[in-house]
Amino acid sequence: MKEWVGTVARLLTGGVWIWAGLAKLPHPEDSVLAVRAYQLLPGDSASTVGHLLPVVEVVVGLCLVLGLLTRFAAAVSVLLFAAFIIGIASGWARGIEIDCGCFGGGGADPHAASKYPWELARDVGLLLLSTYLVWQGRTRIALDNLLFPPLTESGLDLEALDDQHSGV
Amino acid sequence: MSTKLSNKEKQRRRAERAAAALKERQRRERRRRLLSVVGVVVAIVLVVAGGFLISSMRDDTKVDAAKIPPPGGSYGLTIGPDSAPHKVVVYEDFLCPICGEFEKTGHEQLEQLADQGKVQVEYRPIVILDRFGTYSARATLMWWLVKQHDGDAVAQKFHDLLYANQPSEEGPFPSRDDLYALAGQAGADAAALKASVEASEGAQEVAEGTKDAEALGVSSTPTLVLDGEAFTNGRTPADLANNLVKAVQ
């Protein structure tokens, strides 16, 4: 049961990442502006983050959807959502009105304040799903199950072997 | 026979062999898993690095600062002497709130430093926020006409007044008459300005000013160039202004 819950969590979180990343990939310049609009990163590092983020999002999303290195991808996902929550909350607290740039776009948005609560709620929800996946790393229908089959099935579990031998 | 092993001994050896084979299989499996993880991680790193490079290369907003003409051009407003050791070009939009913040923090100090001969600054107002209506184009046009007819000093005053009275991107926007009055306050001939605007004077020059900037890769404002290099050092617009002032002091 837990493994199926994990599969659903993987598909949801991973799907959102892929969607968010793909929306940003075609417009690197907008991505940089969206990061810059938060006014949090020093110097020109906003430009590096703006270029890196969409790619990382797509890759993390793919890993989650495919169930490849699930725990690791989920841990990265947790860190990213934590960073976004901090970014949006601090923007809100500083009275900056910006489009979160979550799915492309970004920059100044005079109606942003009314969207912040929903954006934060969404990110907290996805953060919780990701955290669940860090804890419940093994899920159904995952590449991990092919690459790293459970030990008992590969006949490497000591007790299982002992049972076989004692039957001879 | 003494060479014949006891059943017990046979059993012990068999168990030993089985344990050794098991250990070997476990060792191989552990190795296979480790290599799989390393392989997948290497693949991920390569994909991310490749994507990052492609994204950086496709970003055509990187201003080719070396190509941007130094202060002293005919379109913008240049303050400070040619002999100043530092040259600054400021592309800005009269409606852009970040430009407003930047001006609020930096313009007095920059103008002072220009007066002292430490820096030469050219302000190049351009129209990029036309999606919010006609204010940006209208203000830029009037500013350019004031510069043509009333001189640089008045244009500088009008530039500062436009930022001091900057409307929100959402409006409400000042009317034409409000802007004529503001130009008058800066020392311009408001009636002559009105006549020029109504005669559609200058529209082409202002459109070209924006086009020239876009051709050089300027797609957002403020875009700052300090001594031939893009200046982006600042977390906030105020930081940007303070750092720029520091850099030319």
Burial B42-79 (b: 16+ CB within 10 A, else e): eebeeebeebbeebbeebebebebeebeebeeebbbbb
Distance between CA atoms of B249 and B238, rounded to whole angstroms?
17
3-state secondary structure A111-167: CHHHCHHHHHHHHHHHHHHHHHHHHCCCCCCCHHHHHCCCCCCCCCCHHHHHHHHHC
Angle of CA points A138, A19, B51, to nearest 5°? 90
Domain match, B110 and B222 both? yes
Which residue has 């601090």 as its token pair? A90
Residue of A43, A54, A108 lying closest to B169 (CB–CB): A108
Residues 6+ apart with CB under 8 A from A84: A100, A102, A123
Domain match, B137 and B14 both? no
Contacts of B101 in chain A (CB under 8 A): none
Neighbours of A117 (CB within 10 A): 11
Residue A166's pLDDT band (cuts 50, 70, 90) = very low
Among A50, A57, A62, A54, smallest CA distance to A24 is for A54
Contacts of B59 in chain A (CB under 8 A): 28-29, 32, 47, 51
Residue A77 has pLDDT above 50, yes or no: yes
With H, G, I as helix, E, B as strand and everything else as coil, classify residue B59: coil
Q: What is the pLDDT of residue A84?
A: 96
* Beta-carbon separation of A55 and B51 below 8 A: yes
Sorted by where each begins, the domain ranges of chain A are: 2-146
Beta bridge partners of residue B134, listed in sequence order: none
Select from B33, B55, B99 the residue whose CB has the most chain A CBs within 10 Å, as the one to mutate to test that interface. Answer: B55
pTM for this model (two decimals): 0.67
Domain match, B123 and B32 both? no
Q: How many CB pairs under 8 A join A and B?
A: 77
* Beta-carbon separation of B36 and A32 below 8 A: no
* Beta-carbon separation of A44 and B233 below 8 A: yes
Residue of A39, A158, A165 lying closest to B235 (CB–CB): A39
**Would you call B95 exposed, middle or buried from its count of C-beta atoms within 10 A (0-12, 13-18, 19+)?**
buried
Domain match, B19 and B110 both? no
Residue of A nearest to B171 (CA): A110
**DSSP state for residue A104 in the 8-state scheme:** B
Residue of A41, A47, A110 lying closest to B235 (CB–CB): A41
Domain count, chain B: 2
Q: In CATH, what number is assigned to the domain containing residue B177? A: 3.40.30.10
Residue of A51, A63, A68 lying closest to B55 (CB–CB): A51
Q: What is the pLDDT of residue A51?
A: 92
**Higher pLDDT residue, A26 or A108?**
A26
Domain match, B24 and B130 both? no
User: Distance, in angstroms, between B150 CA and closest chain A CA?
Assistant: 34
Using the Cβ of A49 and the Cβ atoms of chain B, whether some distance falls under 8 Å is answered with no
Residue of A nearest to B169 (CA): A110
Distance between CA atoms of B224 and A23, rounded to whole angstroms?
29
Domain match, B109 and B179 both? yes
Domain range for B2: 1-59
Q: What is the pLDDT of residue A142?
A: 93
Domain match, B113 and B190 both? yes
* Beta-carbon separation of A110 and B168 below 8 A: yes
Contacts of A164 in chain B (CB under 8 A): none
Neighbours of A4 (CB within 10 A): 11
Domain match, B208 and B106 both? yes
3-state secondary structure B198-233: HCCCCHHHHHHHHHHHHHCCCCCCCEEEECCEECCC
| Cis status, amide bond into B172, omega within 30 of 0 | yes
User: Distance, in angstroms, between B23 CA and closest chain A CA?
Assistant: 9
Domain match, B49 and B74 both? no
Residue A111 has pLDDT above 90, yes or no: no
Domain match, B150 and B43 both? no
Q: What is the pLDDT of residue A161?
A: 43
Burial A145-168 (b: 16+ CB within 10 A, else e): bebbeeeeeeebeeeebeeeeeee
Using the Cβ of A58 and the Cβ atoms of chain B, whether some distance falls under 8 Å is answered with yes
Domain match, B163 and B239 both? yes
Using the Cβ of A54 and the Cβ atoms of chain B, whether some distance falls under 8 Å is answered with yes
Residue A163's pLDDT band (cuts 50, 70, 90) = very low
Residue A80's pLDDT band (cuts 50, 70, 90) = very high
User: Distance, in angstroms, between A120 CA and closest chain B CA?
Assistant: 23
Using the Cβ of B200 and the Cβ atoms of chain A, whether some distance falls under 8 Å is answered with no
On whether the CB atoms of residues B86 and B227 are closer than 8 A, the answer is: yes
User: Distance, in angstroms, between B55 CA and closest chain A CA?
Assistant: 6
User: Distance, in angstroms, between B239 CA and closest chain A CA?
Assistant: 10
In chain B, which stretches have pLDDT less than 70? 1-4, 60-63
User: Distance, in angstroms, between B199 CA and closest chain A CA?
Assistant: 35
Q: What is the pLDDT of residue B3?
A: 60
Q: What is the pLDDT of residue B133?
A: 86
Q: What is the mean pLDDT of chain A?
A: 87
**Helix axes A2-24 and A70-93, enclosed angle (nearest 10):** 60
Q: What is the pLDDT of residue B61?
A: 59
On whether the CB atoms of residues B162 and B94 are closer than 8 A, the answer is: yes
pLDDT tens digit sequence for A6-59? 999 999 999 999 999 999 998 888 888 889 888 888 767 888 999 999 999 999
Domain match, B52 and B149 both? no
Beta bridge partners of residue B77, listed in sequence order: B123
* Beta-carbon separation of A110 and B170 below 8 A: yes
Residue A154's pLDDT band (cuts 50, 70, 90) = very low
Interface of A with B in 75-94 (CB under 8 A): none
Using the Cβ of A39 and the Cβ atoms of chain B, whether some distance falls under 8 Å is answered with yes
